[in-house]
Amino acid sequence: MRRTALTAILAFCITACAGPDRGWIAEARGRTQSRLDAQEAGKQPPGGIPDLPLFPFLYVESGDGWLALEKLWPLVEVGHGPVLPWGRPRWIRVRPFLWVDEFRGLSRTVVFPFYFRVLEELEAGDRSILHLWPFYGIHRETIDLAPAVTHHVAWPFFLVRHGPERWKVRLFPAFDGSHGYLDRGWWLLPVLKWGGHGQNEFFYLLDPLFAYERDSIAESAGDETPAKRRWSVRLLGGLAGWEDDRGRSRFQLLWWIKF
């Protein structure tokens, strides 16, 4: 009877105190990422009884090249996985002050808030961040489906971004200029914003006080017809306005009333 009770208590500790293997908490644990890396390499994660299954107070799991130690999770995480073809997964996290991670497709060293170094492989394109906060940082990533390099100086006050046939400059909060990106245009904060691309144009004055937008699917000005064009003027974000949608003009009142 006593042995059955001890077995039940031990089973409860293992299942209830080992920590979750699914959900956002599991995804945030270095132990989980190391297990995924091992499975991708064809190695079996450790099984059996953890050394100390007292998550989130103190959790220890080891064996066959594995080590996972968590103390007062999420404050402290230390561990490593077995040697894999692309290296050995390892992680040291003393949140929020220190992050040192090495996983497949991710290398991260953060000494918060002064130093950030992140190298990450993503489907949309690789990303790298090297930032000495707040003095200077350089970010390489994919923005609007194109590679981009961003230089930050005295973040968040000044940035310069450039990519293939596109650029962006920001002097916060006074000025913002962009060409080729989805947020293209010129912005004198918070008074004016204007710009355009092809047959599309926009102009804002003390947004939402006054806004003018013009959208066209025509490839050139000579190819444009009323059926390919839409323009609108809005006051106070739509309190009143006028729009012309493919040749049909309507007055707008109180955002949703049109006649």
Q: With 50 as the cut, is the pLDDT of residue 223 above it?
A: yes
Q: With 90 as the cut, is the pLDDT of residue 238 above it?
A: no
pLDDT in tens, 97-108: 999 999 999 999
Structure confidence at residue 3 (pLDDT): 59
Question: Rounded to an integer, what distance in angstroms lies between the CA atom of residue 255 and that of residue 44?
Answer: 59
Mean pLDDT of all residues in 4-30: 71
Closest by CA to 26, choosing from 90, 63, 85, 70, is 70
Query: In whole numbers, what is the pLDDT of the chain averaged over residues?
Result: 88
pLDDT in tens, 106-138: 999 999 999 999 999 998 889 999 999 999 999
Question: Rounded to an integer, what distance in angstroms lies between the CA atom of residue 132 and that of residue 149?
Answer: 16
Instruction: Give 121's Cβ-side CA count (13 Å radius).
Output: 5
**pLDDT band at residue 50, thresholds of 50, 70 and 90?**
confident
pLDDT in tens, 62-112: 988 899 999 999 999 999 999 999 999 999 999 999 999 999 999 999 999
**pLDDT band at residue 153, thresholds of 50, 70 and 90?**
very high
Mean pLDDT of all residues in 156-175: 94
- pTM of the entire structure? 0.74
**Among the listed ranges 33-37, 42-46, 178-182, 208-212, which one has the minimum average pLDDT value?**
42-46
Closest by CA to 34, choosing from 72, 75, 73, 63, is 63
Of residues 59 and 182, more confidence is placed in 59
Structure confidence at residue 10 (pLDDT): 47
Closest by CA to 231, choosing from 153, 217, 222, 148, is 217
Domain ranges of the chain: 190-259
Q: With 80 as the cut, is the pLDDT of residue 1 above it?
A: no
